[in-house]
Amino acid sequence: MIRFEKFTVKAQEAMQAAQSVADQHNHQAVEPEHLLLALLQQREGVVGPVLAKLGARPDVIQRALEQALERLPKVRGGGGQPYIGERLRAALERAQAEAERLKDEYVSTEHLLIGIPTPTPRRSTRRCSATPATSPSWRARASSIPSSAATRRSAASSRCSRAARRTIPC
C-alpha cells in the first residue's frame, strides 16, 4: 500500500504535477512517463542534475518523454481525474521499499527515480551504450551532487545510476 503521507513535499509535488501532465494529455491513467517528466520539470529539483551528472541529457530525455506521451491512448469526455496506473503503482511501491531499505523516513524524489521501471526495448528508443558507473570518474562526479541524504549515500547513488541507465534513452 502506497503511503503518500510519507512522501517528501517535493515528491508530493511531483505526483501532483504528473497527474496534471496526464490530464493535459487526456490520459486516463498516470504512468511512470508522466512522473519522470514531472520530476525533470521540477524547479530546484535534484533529478535533472543527478541524471546530468551521470552523463544523461535531461533535455533529450524530456523530448523523448513528450513523444512517448503523445503515443499513449487518449480519452475524451470522461470528466474524471486520471488514476494511478499499474506501472506507476509498481514504481511507487519500489520507491517506498527502497526508502524503507535505506531506513529513510520519507520517500524522496531520488527514491521515485530509482523506482521508475525499465522500459521495454523498442525500435524507436535508443538505449545508452556507455555505462556512466563504469567510468573511473563516475564516483567522484556522483559524490559531488548536492542533494538529500538518500543521494549522498554511495549505495543509493549506485542504485540511482543503475536505474538511470535502465530508464533513460540517450
pLDDT of 117 reads: 79
The pLDDT of residue 47? 95
Among 66-70, 126-130, 157-161, name the one with the lowest average pLDDT. Answer: 126-130
Domain spans of the chain, in order of start: 4-167
pLDDT at 136 over 70: no
Whether residue 126 is predicted with pLDDT greater than 60 in this model: the reply is: no
pLDDT at 19: 96
Tens of pLDDT along 72-110? 989 887 667 899 999 999 999 999 999 999 999 999 999
Measure the CA dihedral 91/98/142/130, to 10°.
-50
Q: What is the pLDDT of residues 3-41, one digit of tens each?
A: 999 999 999 999 999 999 999 999 999 999 999 999 999
Query: What are the pLDDT digits (tens) for 40-71?
Result: 999 899 999 999 999 999 999 999 999 999 99
pLDDT of residue 1: 85
CATH class of 4-167: mainly alpha
pTM exceeding the 0.85 threshold for the entire prediction: no
**Residue by residue, what is the 3-state secondary structure of the chain?**
CCCHHHECHHHHHHHHHHHHHHHHCCCCEECHHHHHHHHHHCCCCCHHHHHHHCCCCHHHHHHHHHHHHHHCCCCCCCCCCCEECHHHHHHHHHHHHHHHHCCCCCECHHHHHHHCCCCCCCCCCCECCCCHHHCCCHHHHHHCCCCCHHHHCHHHHHHHHHHHHHHCEC
35, 18 in Cβ contact below 8 A?
A: yes
147 alpha-carbon distance from chain centroid: 15
**pLDDT at res. 125:** 42
